Structure 1
Amino acid sequence: MKKFLILIREDLAAMNEMTPAQMEADISEYVKWKEGLEKENRHVMSDPLEGSGAMVYKNKVETDGPFIESKEAISGFFVFLAKDIDEAISIAKTCPIFKHEGLVELRPIMDF
């Protein structure tokens, strides 16, 4: 099995407009998805990300960079196991983000 990374991309402004009940339901969907990956022994790690951060360049640091101002941003990640990219794509398509018009970036993790 090979490791793959999913970066969850979504509209943070829309996320901030969710009611507490909507946010709880959204989180519950991700928890169920993660538990399904765990039952299949595919889940490696995952976490949500805060909206703040920094873009670090060699000679400067931006804390109000395009990742904060852009409409969509990375809100979380999952690392999971799949036999190949085709299986990883099939798994990625089951991510709860697609219920909210978001998208995922899927990347194989290089064996080093």
Structure 2
Amino acid sequence: MKKFMLIVREDLEKIGKMTDEERFASSPNMVEWIDGLIESGNYITGTPLLIEGRYVGKDYVQSDGPFIESNEGISGFDLIWAENLEQATAIAQSCPMVMIGMAIREVRPVIDMLT
């Protein structure tokens, strides 16, 4: 099994105008999906992210939002186990947020530097 990160991308401008309660009330019930991944042995960890943040570079810190030019940004992630990129992609496609068009999942293999 290989490790994959399923990055959640959403319209940060839109959800940035919501309270956390409004944001998560409008989201589908992710608990059942996560529970299914746990039961299948595919789930490692994950969490939603707050909208506030900073971009940090060698000579700068940008603090006027978590995005520069695009409204779309990272709003959470999940780490999973999958046999290959195709299986990880299928798991990402089954995400309730993806299925209703609320979010996009970017699927990325993780390099395990400790093995």
Partners in 2 of 1:88 and 1:6 — Cα distance?
8
The DSSP-based 3-state class of the residue aligned with 1:75 is strand
Deviations 1:65-98 (A, max 9, x none): 4617632121110000001111111111011222
Q: CA deviation at 1:13?
A: 3.6
Structure 1: 4+ residue segments shifted above 4 A:
none
Partners in 2 of 1:101 and 1:24 — Cα distance?
13
Structure 1, unmatched stretches of 5+, are none
The DSSP-based 3-state class of the residue aligned with 2:67 is helix
Identify if the C-alpha distance between structure 1 residues 83 and 8 changes in structure 2 by more than 3 Å, giving closer, same or farther.
same
The DSSP-based 3-state class of the residue aligned with 1:34 is helix
Structure 2, unmatched stretches of 5+, are none
The letter for the 2-side match of 1:85 is L
Q: CA deviation at 1:100?
A: 3.2
Q: Does structure 2 retain, via aligned residues, the 8 Å contact 1:34–1:43?
A: yes
Matches within 5 A, 1:16-95: 16-17=17-18, 20=21, 23-24=24-25, 26=27, 29-65=29-65, 67=67, 70-95=70-95
Partners in 2 of 1:34 and 1:3 — Cα distance?
16
Q: What is the TM-score when the length of structure 2 is the normalising length?
A: 0.82
Q: Does structure 2 retain, via aligned residues, the 8 Å contact 1:8–1:75?
A: yes
The DSSP-based 3-state class of the residue aligned with 2:29 is helix
Deviations 1:40-80 (A, max 9, x none): 11111101100011001011111114617632121110000
Q: Does structure 1 retain, via aligned residues, the 8 Å contact 2:9–2:72?
A: yes
Structure (1/2) with the larger helix percentage: 1
Q: Does structure 2 retain, via aligned residues, the 8 Å contact 1:52–1:68?
A: no
